[in-house]
């Protein structure tokens, strides 16, 4: 089977980036049997990153273990913003770290900083460690004992409203873990807890950066104000869609 055949089978299965994905499968599979097995998994909708074992994030190659949420290009904006506000020798906590994508970028961008990633899923924590991140299994910040000592808290928590899970692409719905996606009735169940727990961790003047979407900035603004955050700003992608919120702890 040549690369064009692989691309044709991917295209027939509905892959939008069939040529790029074919190149990736072709480059990674060392023999024809592996290529065939990988192709079948991809045609069944399994994420490409689980099959080949990696993706790229902020220009770096990141290990992605099967079962762990695949970092999205849209999250790179959050990681880059967080790196800009993390002081040299500062302290950052990445809640809901998954593969450790955001934390790994912070380690790379601010090498003198102390960066910790936490996730409730032990598979994710193992994966993050494989990406060079100091990572802990923890329900949000339960295992992080640094009240008022943290410069930056980042979180790409689950934020899809439960009723909207059915609208996700079928590959995501069928394969990626619900614990990574389902944010409850308005999508903000875990994010509200992040806002609370980050308020305990952050020093005055420290920053919280969270990924959200839709109109969640309006819903979340009162919670942020109540917990002492100021300078709440949302950022948007090129299409004008909300992608995240940055907020500063008063002081
Ligand atoms: C949308 S994924 C984001 C992963 C990673 N930050 C990224 O951007 O690729 C959400 C992650 O949050 C984790 N998670 C969900 N609830 C959690 C909780 N209560 N405490 C810690 N992690 C949690 C999931 O296991 C999953 O890895």
Q: How far apart are CA 73 and CA 219, in angstroms?
A: 25
Q: Tell me if 102 CB under 6 Å of ligand 1.
A: yes
Q: Tell me if 96 CB under 6 Å of ligand 1.
A: yes
Percent residues over pLDDT 90 in the chain: 97
Name the pLDDT band for 1 (thresholds 50, 70, 90). Answer: confident
Ligand 1 centroid from CA 118, angstroms: 8
Q: Tell me if 55 CB under 6 Å of ligand 1.
A: no
- List the one residue out of 174, 244, 157, 169 whose CA is nearest residue 15: 169
pLDDT tens digit sequence for 219-251: 999 999 999 999 999 999 999 999 999 999 998
- Ligand 1 atom nearest residue 97's Cα: 6
Alpha helix stretches (DSSP H) within 44-138 = 48-52, 76-85, 101-109, 122-130
User: In which order are the strands placed within the sheet that holds 202-211?
Assistant: 134-137, 114-119, 91-95, 150-155, 202-211, 242-249, 229-236
Q: Tell me if 97 CB under 6 Å of ligand 1.
A: yes
pLDDT tens digit sequence for 89-111: 999 999 999 999 999 999 999 99
**Closest CA to ligand 1's atom 2:** 180
Domains of the chain, residue spans: 3-63, 73-249
Q: How far apart are CA 211 and CA 206, in angstroms?
A: 17
Q: Tell me if 157 CB under 6 Å of ligand 1.
A: yes
Residue 74: predicted pLDDT: 95
Ligand 1 centroid from CA 7, angstroms: 32
Q: Tell me if 215 CB under 6 Å of ligand 1.
A: no
Q: Tell me if 190 CB under 6 Å of ligand 1.
A: yes
Q: What is the mean pLDDT of residues 213-220?
A: 93
pLDDT tens digit sequence for 59-80: 999 999 999 999 999 999 999 9
pLDDT tens digit sequence for 142-165: 999 999 999 999 999 999 999 999
The dotted CATH code for 73-249 is 3.40.50.150
């Amino acid at each position: 089977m040549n690369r064009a055949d692989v691309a044709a089978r991917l295209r027939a299965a509905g892959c939008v980036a069939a040529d790029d994905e074919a190149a990736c499968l072709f480059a990674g599979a060392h023999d024809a049997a592996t290529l065939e097995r990988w192709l079948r998994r991809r045609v069944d909708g399994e994420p490409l990153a689980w099959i080949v074992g990696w993706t790229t994030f902020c220009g770096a190659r990141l290990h992605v273990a099967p079962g762990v949420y695949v970092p999205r290009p849209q999250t790179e904006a959050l990681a880059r913003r967080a790196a800009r506000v993390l002081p040299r020798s500062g302290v950052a906590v990445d809640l809901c770290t998954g593969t450790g994508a955001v934390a790994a970028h912070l380690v790379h961008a601010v090498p003198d900083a102390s960066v910790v990633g936490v996730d409730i899923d032990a598979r994710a924590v193992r994966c993050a460690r494989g990406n060079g991140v100091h990572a802990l299994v923890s329900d949000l910040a339960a295992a992080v004992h640094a009240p008022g000592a943290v410069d930056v808290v980042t979180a790409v928590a689950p934020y899809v409203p439960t009723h909207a899970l059915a609208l996700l692409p079928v590959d995501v719905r069928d394969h990626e873990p619900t614990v990574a996606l389902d944010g409850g009735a308005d999508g903000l169940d875990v994010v509200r807890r992040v806002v609370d727990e980050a308020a305990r961790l952050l020093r005055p003047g420290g920053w919280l950066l969270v990924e959200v979407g839709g109109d969640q900035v309006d819903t979340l603004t009162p919670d942020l104000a109540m917990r002492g955050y100021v300078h709440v700003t949302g950022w948007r992608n090129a299409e004008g869609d909300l992608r995240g919120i940055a907020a500063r702890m008063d002081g």
